[in-house]
A and B are shown apart, each in its own frame.
Chain A
Amino acid sequence: DVKVTQSSRYLVKRTGEKVFLECVQDMDHENMFWYRQDPGLGLRLIYFSYDVKMKEKGDIPEGYSVSREKKERFSLILESASTNQTSMYLCASKGTGAGYTFGSGTRLTVV
């Protein structure tokens, strides 16, 4: 089975800090995604990547950036964390098949 691993399950950061969320997949998938999930809003796409060093903005990229230096790793960066970025962050990967495989999520709280 494909495994998607997110480095932290829970994270607490201060306003203004630079935050890195890491995601690693072990099945050589080309496509990787970062979503955030908020009550009443569902999953919203922040950024995605279809190859190493390639990235595209999703629906809500403001305040975020990403890095994909290696195929297996896709990092989400909050340049200067703000309280409205408190959320559940979900990473997913996709190969040639139809479906996504999700990581377990990182619950980020910005205080």
Chain B
Amino acid sequence: GQNIDQPTEMTATEGAIVQINCTYQTSGFNGLFWYQQHAGEAPTFLSYNVLDGLEEKGRFSSFLSRSKGYSYLLLKELQMKDSASYLCAGTPQGGGNKLTFGTGTQLKVEL
């Protein structure tokens, strides 16, 4: 299958930590990307996981478990500017350059 599932919306408080989950059918994808997209703008690259485990990059970390078909994006010390849509995308098994995207998670950071 080619579905990628993520929650539609999340709300969190400035300064807090939020985890955005992404699940997929394990037979479909090899690596997982996370992109950030502010309203009216292009998606921008955040992270790429092809091996299991946690990749940390400043306030943002991404985790992948290939056997479970599960990834998450962890955002720490939330700032108002983190309010955006977060897109999970998978690269196909066997290689290839097409990305399949989830529908995105709209994160709202509140005071």
Q: Which residues of A contact B (CB under 8 A)?
A: 4, 31, 33, 35, 40-45, 48, 50, 58, 90, 94, 98-105
Nearest 10 A-B pairs (CB), nearest first? A42-B103, A102-B42, A43-B101, A99-B45, A31-B97, A42-B101, A98-B48, A104-B42, A102-B43, A42-B104
Residues of A within 8 A of B87 (CB): 42-43
Per-residue interface assignment for chain B, residues 22 to 65, with 1 indicating a CB less than 8 Å from any chain A CB and 0 otherwise: 00000000010100000011111100101000000000000000
Residues of B within 8 A of A41 (CB): 103
Q: Which chain A residue has the least Cβ–Cβ distance from B46?
A: A99
Place the interface of chain B in its size category: 20 to 34
Residues of B within 8 A of A4 (CB): 42
Q: Nearest Cβ in chain A — how far from B80, in angstroms? A: 22
Decide yes or no whether B81 CB sits under 8 A from chain A. Answer: no
Q: Nearest Cβ in chain A — how far from B39, in angstroms? A: 11
Residues of B within 8 A of A98 (CB): 31, 33, 48, 50, 91
